[in-house]
Structure 1
Amino acid sequence: MRAFAAHARAVPDYRLSDTAMSQVVIAALYQFRAVENPAVLQEELRAFCREQGILGTLIVAGEGINGTVSGSREGISRLHELLLAKGFTRMEYKESFADEHPFRKLKIKLKQEIVTLGVPVNPREHVGTYLSPQEWHDLIQQPDVLVIDTRNDYEVMTGTFKGAIDPKTRTFGEFPEYVAKELADAKDKKIAMFCTGGIRCEKSTSYLLQEGFREVYHLKGGILNYLKEIPDEQSLWEGECFVFDGRVGVEHGVNPGHTRMCFGCGHPLLEEDLHSPHFEDGVACAWCHDKTTDEQKARFRMRQRQHELARQRGDKPQA
């Protein structure tokens, strides 16, 4: 199986998205690259995004950048060009569109890792074999391949690939423990791993290679790339892909889905969850109703009311 070629530096032709000029542009991006002074980059990105009216979250660390943001066509294009100029020329970068901002705020975070595994790995030096969506589609149908979902348990709830293994991890930091307990005897097997946009698999494949696994593959660009490239009628994906923004879930074509989220705890909600006696929109659900105090619930109700009033007035989110 051939390795998938890395991006060459090129400023994209944004005219390809002219049909969506009136929509909000959502950009998901990351790159593992040494950053000499993350705090300086954090402040520069914060100022730039505020100026451009961009919302969402970017994480900056010494190992690179990661995040998903939304804004106008012009604002997102300028941010992309700024990052290219800063040396992030091999970003995994994907765009999708929505009728309104899926984020309420702007957050530029400074962290030790752009995605937290908790053990030292270096994806810049060695990672598994990248597979295009079509190559991935072909590989995971082979009977001798272990297909592993590296996402958190609540993400898997909304959808996953047919036949994929769910490690039932609550956080990505639990993945090394899962490997030690469940994959110790699988070092000679073909391992194929996937996540939402590809970043967690950069680290998880690097970790497996570090631990002595021999044949490790991952889906380049993650589930989002697969849903964009593989037609619905051919797809091996079942359900929706959970995303960490107001869309909650996306379907084929990376179009907004129908999954809802509890804004009290952030847990995705299935149809039966919406009919639970513990569900109160924006306040609590069956997963968290007994984990928050009456005082917290009162604050959540006030917050929900403020959001509803803002929507009725047509207020725009503030960066």
Structure 2
Amino acid sequence: MPDILNISCYKFTPLPDADILCTTLAERASALNLKGTVLLAEEGINFFLAAPPAAIYTFVNALREDPRFADLDPKESWSDTVPFRKMLVKVKREIIRMDHPTIRPAASRAPSVAPATLRRWLEQGHDDEGREVITLDTRNDYEVDEGAFRNTVDWRLTKFTEFPPALRTHKASLADKTVVSYCTGGIRCEKAAILMRNEGLEHVYQLEGGILKYFEETDGAFYDGGCFVFDERRAVGADLAITPLQSEGKDKPQQPT
């Protein structure tokens, strides 16, 4: 069995002390010999880490001692080697850039749908109230090209800041349908769902935990291909094991854009 634990997690919560946390977490990650990325901002934390499991659990448990992070629930997968080359802890303006300051998930989350519920909706062809269900991919185009939910709505975004204007262009096509926004781990689809609600779309949900949680908690049905991940594995399948890339090309970012 592979012995390197990979985790991804985010939490929208006010962090006015992000600069102080940056120093603390950098020191802690270095002491545990972790590799990956931790992003901090006033709106919260987002991290992708890899190491032997004891080191990972030590880091996460220490984070949970802070009441703001007590309910962290990282998504887990395994690999034979560490898929990151270095450890980066950084403070940014947003942990996922949308350039839409009225969207503040820490203040009010959008409703979510559990992976098992989405799978059931997709299998039966409608939600529990009989409405047509549409999956909306909030990821970048090169991520979608590696795999997506069957018949998903894909606006060919090249960065997440393009989502708000794309929504305004296509909003009418989503009216009166149940829209489930999704992304790799949940962070982009959470902001996207809030924006759609604010723009007047009534039946909008985020996929709780994103594609990775869907893979973890279901059999992966109705999803074709792999899920692009922001490390040297590049993509994982429904079994959360490395899967061959569907497309080759220029180097991709090491974190969502």
Instruction: Please give the TM-score of this superposition, normalised by the length of structure 2.
Output: 0.90
Confirm or deny: 8 A CA contact 2:146 2:247 kept in the other structure.
no
Q: Where does 1:126-137 land on structure 2 (aligned, <5 Å)?
A: 126-137=108-119
Specify the alignment match of 1:9 in structure 2: none
Matched residues in 2 for 1:258 and 1:186: separation?
A: 33
1:185: Cα distance to partner? 5.5
The secondary structure found in structure 2 opposite 1:265 is: coil
The one-character-per-residue Cα deviations of 1:14-66 (angstroms, maximum 9, x if unpaired) are xxxxxx6x711111111001112101101111111111000001100111100
The secondary structure found in structure 2 opposite 1:252 is: coil
Confirm or deny: 8 A CA contact 2:10 2:44 kept in the other structure.
yes
Specify the alignment match of 2:7 in structure 1: 27
Matched residues in 2 for 1:261 and 1:85: separation?
A: 42
1:99: Cα distance to partner? 0.6
Confirm or deny: 8 A CA contact 1:92 1:221 kept in the other structure.
no
Q: Choose which of 115, 129, 139 in structure 1 pairs with 2:121.
A: 139
The secondary structure found in structure 2 opposite 1:183 is: helix
Specify the alignment match of 2:169 in structure 1: 181
The one-character-per-residue Cα deviations of 1:94-115 (angstroms, maximum 9, x if unpaired) are 1111110000011111101111
Matched residues in 2 for 1:185 and 1:96: separation?
A: 36
The secondary structure found in structure 2 opposite 1:253 is: coil
Instruction: Please give the TM-score of this superposition, normalised by the length of structure 1.
Output: 0.73
Matched residues in 2 for 1:263 and 1:72: separation?
A: 31
Matched residues in 2 for 1:126 and 1:47: separation?
A: 32
Specify the alignment match of 1:211 in structure 2: 199
Cα gap change, 1:263 to 1:77, in 2 (>3 Å): farther
1:264: Cα distance to partner? 5.1
Confirm or deny: 8 A CA contact 1:228 1:254 kept in the other structure.
yes
Question: Is 247-256 or 152-161 further displaced after alignment?
Answer: 247-256
Larger radius of gyration: 1
Q: Choose which of 36, 39, 42 in structure 1 pairs with 2:19.
A: 39
Matched residues in 2 for 1:185 and 1:159: separation?
A: 23
| Residue identity in the other structure for 1:100 | T
Confirm or deny: 8 A CA contact 2:134 2:180 kept in the other structure.
yes
Question: Is 82-91 or 148-157 further displaced after alignment?
Answer: 82-91
Cα gap change, 1:215 to 1:100, in 2 (>3 Å): same
Cα gap change, 1:69 to 1:262, in 2 (>3 Å): farther
Question: Is 251-260 or 209-218 further displaced after alignment?
Answer: 251-260
Give the number of equivalent residue pairs: 245
Q: Does 1:65 align with 2:45?
A: yes
Specify the alignment match of 1:149 in structure 2: 137
| Residue identity in the other structure for 2:150 | K
1:217: Cα distance to partner? 1.2
CA RMSD of aligned residues (A): 1.8
Identify which of structures 1 and 2 has the higher relative contact order when contacts are C-alpha pairs closer than 8 Å and 6+ apart: 2
Confirm or deny: 8 A CA contact 2:145 2:246 kept in the other structure.
no
Cα gap change, 1:171 to 1:164, in 2 (>3 Å): same
Q: Does 1:84 align with 2:72?
A: no
The one-character-per-residue Cα deviations of 1:190-235 (angstroms, maximum 9, x if unpaired) are 2111111011111111111111211111211110111122225xx1
Q: Does 1:239 align with 2:225?
A: yes
Specify the alignment match of 1:17 in structure 2: none
The secondary structure found in structure 2 opposite 1:245 is: coil
Residue ranges of structure 1 left out of the alignment (5+ in a row)? 1-19, 268-319
Identity %: 31
